[in-house]
Amino acid sequence: MARFGFGQEMRQAQRQEMLLVPRMLQAIEILALPTTDLDVYLRQAAEENAALALHEAALGVDLSTPKPRERVRSKDATERHSAMLENQPARARSVAEQVDEELATLDLEPAELAWLRFLVSCLDADGFLTPTDDELLALAVERGLAGGRDELARALARLQGLEPRGIGARNATEALLLQLDPHDPDYRDLARLVEDFLGELAKNKLPAVAKAMGLSVDALRELVQRLSELSLHPAADLDSECAPPIVPDVLVRPGENGFEIALDDSRAATVTLDESVRELARDKELDRKLREHLKGQVERARWIVDAVAQRRATLLRVATAVFDHQRGFLEHGPGHLVPLKMTDVAAEIGLHVSTISRAVAGKYVETPWGIEPLRHFFQAASGHDPETARDDLRETVRGIFAAEDPKRPLSDDDVVESLAKRGLEVARRTVTKYRQELGIPSSYRRRRHE
């Protein structure tokens, strides 16, 4: 009997563990989701689980799954479905899809339109047409297009005349040339710069290029400025990706007793258990299999409701701990962050560091100084100064470079000396790393020539 009891306990423990694992994984997944992704997750969960009722705060519409024993009018269902679709971000459109819309406005013969659409389908994400003519012709044969090189040439010329200019170029140089206006008085000089001197311009060898072209440095600088207005990526002006707006998860605002920290519930979906489904799961008059099925849905729905509540509590605890440390930023703004590690916050509030990492992943916070990623407020110490945050030091480096004399640009060693005068001991390689992260060229490329 004792052995039987032990085995029974083992089986019960294993069953509880098997139930606990998916529940824990679900809680971890929900914790790591930002608000916009959480809304999508909850909608899908409500569609799959009749026991989960979803309420969309932003629209004031109940998007819950229709309840059993309740006949829903088709008009109401359509309105709920339309509201859900309207609240979804627009699907990202490819470059080919957007250029193809422009083709619809052109008056072309069917054969030419077919070739043009074929070329559009071959564009890459930057708007370049990278296959060779031979490769395009072979692919056209596979697609069943009639014609050869002449048809390809006409379609290519038509494609390269579409907006934005540069679409259909084979490389960045050709894209720049396609963006130039042949009627421009400076067209010849601009084209020559693109074709012959891009390498020298990249190295800031303006005097040598000016001499080779018979121009003054000032005249050359004006031409270079015009070239800088062109795009190396022809499709950059297309709306190739519709990103949803940033939705802050946490709000930090001045209050009567300092700063108040709260979660932004105005645009977040909420979930509850559907009481009618829970009652049906207890109804012994129902078929046993159906009742067991409903009980499973109720249990899974309860997991999700609990996980969402736990996510809220954890996020609020983490945010409160973070801004207890970053009060200087709240009071004085950028430049006043202090170093802060996730391990320190984890120890303070009694959570594992991996939980802290998941809680801040993809989350944004609205502060008096703007919206920032919550992860931004975890800063490593910079250089040899444990009191200075890495991002603040990088901004200091940016400011030093911004204030330099363009005729005598600062070297990285000069910036190290300037930082030392401010009491910041920083290695030269650190300054170089920050300069590169900020997209600031080296000193010889920044030099302004007389």
Q: Which two tokens stand for residue 35?
A: 């608000």
- What are the boundaries of each domain within the chain? 22-89+247-379, 95-237, 380-450
SS3 of the chain: the string is CHHHHHHHHHHHHHHHHHHHHHHHHHHHHHHHCCHHHHHHHHHHHHHHCCCEEEEECCCCEECCCCCCCCCCCHHHHHHHHHHHHHCCCCCCCCHHHHHHHHHCCCCCCHHHHHHHHHHHHCCCCCCCCCCCHHHHHHHHHHHCCCCCHHHHHHHHHHHCCCCCCCCCCCCHHHHHHHHCCCCCCCHHHHHHHHHHCHHHHHCCCHHHHHHHHCCCHHHHHHHHHHHHCCCCCHHHHCCCCCCCCCCCCEEEEEECCEEEEEECCCCCEEEEECHHHHHHHHCCCCCHHHHHHHHHHHHHHHHHHHHHHHHHHHHHHHHHHHHHHCHHHHHHCCCCCCCCCHHHHHHHHCCCHHHHHHHHCCCEEEECCEEEEHHHHCCCEECCEEEEEHHHHHHHHHHHHHCCECCECCCHHHHHHHHHHCCCCCCHHHHHHHHHHCCCCCHHHHCCCC
For 50-96, the pLDDT digits (tens) are: 888 888 654 333 333 333 333 333 344 344 334 333 444 444 456 66
Per residue of the chain (450 residues), what is the pLDDT tens digit? 444 454 555 555 544 444 445 677 778 888 888 887 888 888 888 888 888 888 865 433 333 333 333 333 334 434 433 433 344 444 445 666 667 666 766 777 888 888 988 898 888 878 899 899 999 999 888 888 888 899 999 999 988 888 788 889 998 899 999 999 888 888 999 999 999 998 888 777 888 899 999 999 888 988 988 888 888 888 765 654 445 567 788 999 988 888 999 988 776 778 888 888 888 888 888 788 888 888 888 888 899 999 999 999 999 999 999 999 989 888 888 777 888 888 889 999 998 888 888 888 888 999 988 888 888 888 765 544 554 556 667 777 888 888 888 888 888 888 888 888 877 777 788 888 878 877 788 776 777 765
Fold of domain 380-450: Arc Repressor Mutant, subunit A (1.10.10)
pTM of the model as a whole: 0.49
CA distances, 372 to each of 136, 194, 201, 264, 375 (Å): 46, 40, 37, 14, 8
Residue 242 and residue 227: Cα distance in Å, rounded? 28
Answer yes or no: are the C-beta atoms of 178 and 161 closer than 8 Å: no
Please enumerate in sequence order all residues whose Cβ is within 8 A of that of 158, keeping only pairs 6 or more positions apart, or say none.
Answer: 108, 112, 116
Residue 144 CA from chain centroid, whole number: 39
- Cβ 197 vs Cβ 209: under 8 Å: yes
- Whole-number average pLDDT of the chain: 78
Instruction: Please give the pLDDT value at position 313.
Output: 93
User: Given strand 269-273, what is the order of strands in its sheet?
Assistant: 61-62, 52-56, 269-273
Q: From the centroid of its chain, how far is CA 291?
A: 44
